[in-house]
Structure 1
Amino acid sequence: MVTVEEAKKRITANAIALPTVLKPVPEALGYVLAKDVLASLSLPSFRQSSMDGYAVLHTDVSNENIILPIVAESKAGGTSKLSLKPGTAIRIFTGAPVPAGATAVIMQERTSVENGNVIIKEYPVAENLNVRNIGQQIREGDIALAAGTYLSAGAIGFLTGLNVQEVEVYRKPKIGILVTGDELVKTGDALGDGQVYESNSAMLVAALTKEGIHQVEIMYAEDDLASTISSLELMATRNDVIMATGGVSVGDYDYVGKALEAIGAETIFYKIRQKPGKPLLFAKTQKNHFYALPGNPASSLVCFYEYVLPALRLMSGRKDHFLPSFKLPISHAYSFNGERDEFLKASVSNAQVTSLEGQESFALRSFAVANALIYLPVTQQNVYAGDLVEVHLLPL
């Protein structure tokens, strides 16, 4: 049995980024850049107005209520060949080219118009007021986004504005989910005596989808060693990571550990000193990672978020692989006995964290409304209202 800290160290030490692929920029959301992207043009590529208003020479505004004749108009998408003569103004709109000779844009709200003249009610006027200069955002040839950047919606927009059409990114892992347990029934089928509806696969697929991982295969194995071995062998030929749910404890019908041994997987650790989720097994071959998750749904999801998700993020090239972690005061006292660290389903609000009812390893209702996990090491078995505790924020 290993500690929580040791388990995370061993998993991250074995998780390396997968090979790279080329992705069209509109399809690269949620991926991580494998190479720097250089700007092929400056942004803005011409002087732009950031306001609707009037382009002027800032030194022409020598006092309040100066009056200048309006001699032309510059609109977005219009010509950039307009030129402003001193002592005049040009009507201009947001995003439009700032005429040559103009050094400021007076926002429309600070003006009035009479008989073809603009009365400027702003004074003094600074040079470059409301003007976006060439390269103000980025200059041609500079690094637009560095390798290792996670491609958010903003990044996709930024790259598209630079006319970048495809990027080299780290491939995301292909996932296999092996469901074990003869007591499990698929949703929609009739329940027999002693049976329950299988929910772990849907839960894990949902968590993977949230992470932007869509290549997921689900298989079901009977509670016997031969079926478990053949299923794992087949899934290993088509996936990078295989997650088995159930069949990893010490019962007579728990075959996942024996099956992994039979296919030549090296066990990195088995069992973590924590509650829930003690019987987590991590093994690997040269080509695959295997995570044998507990069958109890809440235990399975805790182990996914705390151990599997960080590994998947590292394999996808991400540096921020662990859940966001910070300290918050707990809203009420909590204590536990034993020699295992505890993870509590929790809710963060109003700058404090509250542990929820239903902490049992089978209970998903509390997970359904949780937005965080509280991590309590055995050295912190008794906490009182207001004490600071470690909080891990869940991806929602």
Structure 2
Amino acid sequence: MISYHEATKLIESLSINIRETLMPTKNCIGFYLSRDLFSPMDSPSFNQSAMDGYAIKFSKSKNYTVVGESKAGLAKKYNIKQGEALRVFTGAYISEDIDCVVMQEKVSLSNRTIKLNENPKKNQNIRFKGEQIKKGDLILKKGSKINLGSIGYIMSLGISDIYVSKKPSISIIVTGDELVSNGKQIELGQIYESNSVMIKNCLIKEGINNIKIFKTKDNLELISKRIKKEITKSDIIILSGGISVGDYDFVRNALKQNKIKQIFYKVKQKPGKPIWFGKKNSQFAIALPGNPGSTLTCLFLYLLPLIKKIQGANSIHLNKVRLMINQDYSNHTEKQIFLKGKVSNEKVHVLSNQSSAKLSSFSICDTLICIPENSNKILKNQKVDCILLPN
């Protein structure tokens, strides 16, 4: 058994052969760059007005004669002289000899003459060529995630296709004789299966759509056959349930039968202790505990970082902050405890129903509160590490 920090280090240190593909930039939201991306042009590619107003050659004069107009999309070159002004609009081309744009609200206009109502500053309200980025400069590093801002930025530089990491293919194998699909009538002793739905929707939020779900009974032969089939077809197989030490927990033996090399098994944490992680060739297997609270905890702590690691992400873990806890808490065990919490007014509140079998607290929580092993007593208002959960 290893610690939480040791387990995360093992995932961080994985050697991954990143698979890339060239895709239209407009379709790359949520993907990770597989190469450094450089600008093919200056941006802006010409000097442009940052305001609706009047372009002038900077001087101490207050009065100027308007001699022309320049609007966005129509680059007409003017050679204005001292004492002359050019009516300009936001985004309009202005020549390099113009060094000041005065906002239209700061002038008085009479016929074709403007009077400045305040003293302007040289170079004000001008977006200079290459001000945002110059040709050949780095736009984004390899491993950067393409978000709304970056996709717009890249498109504005005329880059229609980019190299990104391929999304992994996933097989989810759910085990358990007691599990019944939603919509069916349950008998005494049965429960509705929810883990596969949580896992699948987490993957979809990560932009992964190549997902297959299989359900199998608590039978060593059946589980082993399914693993054998899927480990050759998917980049990651995720198993739910059957990984503890009960008489009907066959997953670990099934993984061993398929010669999947164990990287770690069991982590000193609560909830989620009986988690298994391994690799065969370039494929990975991760077996999550069956209790839904444990499943979701391990999903956030290990599965999401693994998925990001496979895609070459620069940062694979969820963001962590330090917040004041709303109550005293003691942990005299050698396990790291992850409590469901809710952030409010710069404090984190410990929620009720912390059992690994319950999801009611997870349905409203937005953070996992990290209580270190052997931490004795943590006092109310003491700062603790909190892992911020995705919406």
Q: TM-score range by the shorter chain?
A: over 0.9
> Cα deviations across residues 138-177 of structure 1 (Å, max 9, x unaligned)?
1122222232322221111111111111111222221111
Partner-residue secondary structure (3-state), 2:121: coil
Contact 1:70 1:118 in 2 (8 A): yes
Task: Show the counterpart of 1:218.
Answer: 213
**Distance in 1 (alpha carbons) for counterparts of 2:312 and 2:76:** 43
Query: Match of 2:252, as an amino acid?
Result: G
- Distance apart, 1:14 and its partner CA: 2.7
Which deviates more, 81-90 or 225-234? Answer: 81-90
Contact 2:331 2:375 in 1 (8 A): no
Contact 2:332 2:375 in 1 (8 A): no
1:351 aligns with 2:346: yes
Contact 2:33 2:144 in 1 (8 A): yes
Partner-residue secondary structure (3-state), 2:131: coil
Distance 1:236 1:71, change over 3 A: same
Task: Show the counterpart of 2:329.
Answer: 334
The one of 265, 277, 281 equivalent to 2:272 is 277
1:163 aligns with 2:166: no
Task: Show the counterpart of 1:190.
Answer: 185
> Cα deviations across residues 23-49 of structure 1 (Å, max 9, x unaligned)?
211122222222222221111111100
The one of 108, 112, 119 equivalent to 1:116 is 112
Contact 1:83 1:100 in 2 (8 A): no
Partner-residue secondary structure (3-state), 1:389: strand
Query: Match of 1:224, as an amino acid?
Result: N
1:90 aligns with 2:86: yes
Correspondence list, 1:108-147, <5 A? 108-123=104-119, 125-147=120-142
1:56 aligns with 2:50: no
- Distance apart, 1:15 and its partner CA: 5.3
> Cα deviations across residues 4-61 of structure 1 (Å, max 9, x unaligned)?
12222222223525222112111222222222222211111111000011111111x4
Query: Match of 2:106, as an amino acid?
Result: R
1:181 aligns with 2:176: yes
Contact 1:19 1:171 in 2 (8 A): yes
> Cα deviations across residues 244-298 of structure 1 (Å, max 9, x unaligned)?
0001111221111111011111122221111111110112111311111000111
- Distance apart, 1:362 and its partner CA: 1.2
Partner-residue secondary structure (3-state), 1:135: coil
Distance 1:343 1:17, change over 3 A: farther
Task: Show the counterpart of 1:252.
Answer: 247
Distance 1:199 1:381, change over 3 A: farther
> Cα deviations across residues 352-371 of structure 1 (Å, max 9, x unaligned)?
21111110001111111111
**Distance in 2 (alpha carbons) for counterparts of 1:387 and 1:37:** 43
TM-score (norm 2): 0.96
1:375 aligns with 2:383: no
- Distance apart, 1:350 and its partner CA: 1.8
> Cα deviations across residues 102-121 of structure 1 (Å, max 9, x unaligned)?
21100111112122222211
**Distance in 1 (alpha carbons) for counterparts of 2:146 and 2:85:** 42
Contact 1:17 1:170 in 2 (8 A): no
- Distance apart, 1:133 and its partner CA: 0.9
Query: Match of 1:94, as an amino acid?
Result: T
Contact 1:181 1:246 in 2 (8 A): yes
Contact 1:18 1:172 in 2 (8 A): no
Task: Show the counterpart of 2:70.
Answer: 74
Task: Show the counterpart of 1:4.
Answer: 4
- Distance apart, 1:349 and its partner CA: 2.4
TM-score (norm 1): 0.95
Task: Show the counterpart of 1:23.
Answer: 23
Q: Give structure 2 stretches of 5+ with no counterpart.
A: none
Sequence identity (%)? 39
Contact 2:22 2:164 in 1 (8 A): yes
**Distance in 2 (alpha carbons) for counterparts of 1:81 and 1:100:** 10
**Distance in 1 (alpha carbons) for counterparts of 2:266 and 2:141:** 39
Contact 1:15 1:311 in 2 (8 A): no
**Distance in 2 (alpha carbons) for counterparts of 1:339 and 1:145:** 42
Contact 2:70 2:94 in 1 (8 A): yes
- Distance apart, 1:100 and its partner CA: 5.2
Q: Give structure 1 stretches of 5+ with no counterpart.
A: none
Query: Match of 1:252, as an amino acid?
Result: D
Superposed CA RMSD: 1.5
Query: Match of 1:126, as an amino acid?
Result: K
Contact 2:46 2:93 in 1 (8 A): yes
1:35 aligns with 2:31: no
- Distance apart, 1:211 and its partner CA: 2.1
Contact 1:18 1:317 in 2 (8 A): yes
- Distance apart, 1:122 and its partner CA: 2.0
